[in-house]
Amino acid sequence: MQLANLLRETLDVDCDEVWENERTPTPVRVFGVRLHSMGLSVREVVAVLELLGIDRSHGAIWNWTHK
């Protein structure tokens, strides 16, 4: 799956009620969780998000995947 297609699908997901008080926009969190569910480690997800200019800790991403 291409990155553009994955991002487009992620933006179509309505998950606002899941993460109400987060500093990271919901589409970014959903994208990170989706990457993790596709088999990337939490630290690999951190690296992908850093390539996109998003600086989050591996602990934050771990929390996203366990909500």
Whether residue 3 is contained in a domain is answered as no
Please, which residues have CB within 8 angstroms of residue 18's CB and are 6 or more apart in sequence? Answer: 26, 67
Residue 66: what pLDDT? 86
Residue 40 is part of which domain span? 28-66
Task: Quick: pLDDT tens for 3-14.
Answer: 666 666 655 555
d(CA 14, CA 43): 25
Whether residue 45 is contained in a domain is answered as yes
Cβ atoms of 24 and 56 closer than 8 Å: yes
Cβ atoms of 6 and 34 closer than 8 Å: yes
Whether residue 47 is contained in a domain is answered as yes
Residue 35: what pLDDT? 93
d(CA 20, CA 3): 26
The pTM for the full model equals 0.69
Task: Quick: pLDDT tens for 3-62.
Answer: 666 666 655 555 555 556 667 888 888 899 999 999 999 999 999 999 988 899 999 999
Question: Looking at the 3D structure of the chain, how many domains does it have?
Answer: 1
Whether residue 62 is contained in a domain is answered as yes
